[in-house]
Amino acid sequence: MIGDQPTGHIEGVQITAVSHEGLTVMVNGKPARLAIITEDGQIIAAGADVAREAEAVAVNSYRNMRKGMGFLRVLSNPIKAAT
């Protein structure tokens, strides 16, 4: 469906996407980081790598839809574990 997706569902969190800057996150006006966390709380990856990967998957999904391939799944390669 064409139109904007609703945002603003997480109190105090603002995620910004700029085509030439990627994704950034603010929490209550202060810089924050995106993270991949398992169900048991283990941090797998965090920061700029996660933001770049999330942006790449979203952009590739959008591009597939524009090419008429909208129902194909977009997978990322594994992200190196956080140290």
CA dihedral (19, 25, 31, 35) positive or negative: negative
pLDDT at 77: 77
Pick the closest to residue 52 from 77, 73, 30 (CA basis). 77
pLDDT at 45: 94
At 16, which helix (H) or strand (E)?
strand 13-18
pLDDT at 72: 63
SS3 of 51-78: HHHHHHHHHHHHHHHHCCCCCCCCCCCC
pLDDT in tens, 40-63: 999 999 999 999 999 988 888 888
For residues 58-83, give the mean pLDDT: 74
pTM of the model: 0.71
For residues 15-25, give the mean pLDDT: 86
